[in-house]
Amino acid sequence: MAQFQALVLNMFEQGFLFAFLGLGVLITFRFFRFPDLTAEGSYPLGGAVAAALLVEGIDPFLASFAAAGAGAVAGTITALIHTKLRINNIIAGIIAMTALYSINLRVMGKANVPLLNTPTVFSETVDGLNRFGFNLHDNVYTTIPIALVLLVAAAVLLVWFFATDLGLAVRATGQNETMIASLGVDTDRTKMVGLALSNAFIAFSGALVAQNHGFADIGMGIGILVTGAAAVLIGEAIFGDRTVAWWVLAAICGTVIYRLLVALALRVGLQPVDLRLVTAVLLLLALTVPRWRVRVLK
């Protein structure tokens, strides 16, 4: 029973923290229909920027939003490489990802920055609440609701944005670029907005995960795009494809379910070294199972 409880708590905690990544990947992978490899660099960039600032004694919330800002800049640069230099979007992402590896090392100064003695957005919030007479501790029971509140705010922001004039133009850019350009939209600009927003979410996820895990590491972004894509696809396989709000919800739930499946895989005896294999299989299943379902229904 205790084991089951730990499993569920871990699923929600890690699921909610990684869900920001899922939301970021949703924007590029689903709306723009290409796998943006910038994520492999912007996710650790978020961790690196947050860690570097936290070590300097900067407020954790400020540090986390600065991390998101750094992600937005990374996304903007990928967009500029793609649009102004006319480089294929996947190659542009690879170039940004490669450059970010060195930048992340520069930002951190070393390959791993421990954050065990610095405050985090979680400890800061707990301390803040305790000042109002609560008696809370910085643990999984407080991390889950704090992460959930941030996540709901992020989801509301995304759904609101994609219903504005600019948001519709960004979505249409990924769906039918010729058409939206013929309505007077500078698609170079909307691509920049979309990629900046996506990588801001991804970097924010990296910042939160680094604070939760107690370190930022240069290797934390390896395979992260596949993780995000798996979460988005699992969500889509279960929820189907309807409105933006539905997609956002599906990406969040997909991430939580993905974390559960990973935790279960470890529970049944697979080792951490096997996780990439598990992710690959999950991705494959998320891509193929919806097709079977359609066939059965027909």
Partner 1 sequence: MTPLLELAGVTKRFHAGTPSEAVALRNITLTLAAGDFVTVIGSNGAGKSTLLKTIAGMIAPDAGTISFDGRDITHLPVYRRAATIGRIAQDPGDSTCAAMTIEENLAMAERRGMPRGLRRAVTQTARARFVAALAPIGLGLESRLGIRVVALSGGQRQALALLMATLAGARLLLLDEHLAALDPRTADIVMDLTARVVAERALTTLMVTHKMQDAIRFGNRLIMMHAGAIILDVRDDAKAALTVEALVTRFHEVGSEMTEDRVLLTT
Per CB under 8 A, residues contacting partner 1 are 161, 163-169, 171-172, 175-176, 178-187
Q: Which is nearer to partner 1, 15 or 174 (CB)?
A: 174
Q: Which is nearer to partner 1, 161 or 239 (CB)?
A: 161
Q: How far is the CB of 73 from partner 1 (least distance, A)?
A: 20
Q: What's the Cα-to-Cα distance from 268 to each of 255, 262, 265, 273, 274, rounded to whole Å?
A: 20, 10, 5, 14, 12
Q: How far is the CB of 168 from partner 1 (least distance, A)?
A: 5
Strands 215-217 vs 112-114: parallel, antiparallel or unpaired: antiparallel
Q: Which is nearer to partner 1, 75 or 167 (CB)?
A: 167
Calpha distance 298→293 (Å, rounded): 9
Asked if 254 contacts 233 with a C-beta cutoff of 8 angstroms, the reply is yes
Q: Which is nearer to partner 1, 70 or 169 (CB)?
A: 169
Token pair listed for 176: 């039918």
Q: How far is the CB of 180 from partner 1 (least distance, A)?
A: 7
Quickly list DSSP for 240-298: -S--HHHHHHHHHHHHHHHHHHHHHHHHTT--GGGHHHHHHHHHHHHHHHHHHHHHHH-
Q: Which is nearer to partner 1, 9 or 168 (CB)?
A: 168
Q: How far is the CB of 72 from partner 1 (least distance, A)?
A: 16
Q: How far is the CB of 78 from partner 1 (least distance, A)?
A: 21
Q: How far is the CB of 249 from partner 1 (least distance, A)?
A: 17
Q: What is the CA radius of gyration of the chain?
A: 19
Q: Which is nearer to partner 1, 164 or 288 (CB)?
A: 164
> Whose structure tokens read 């709306």?
31
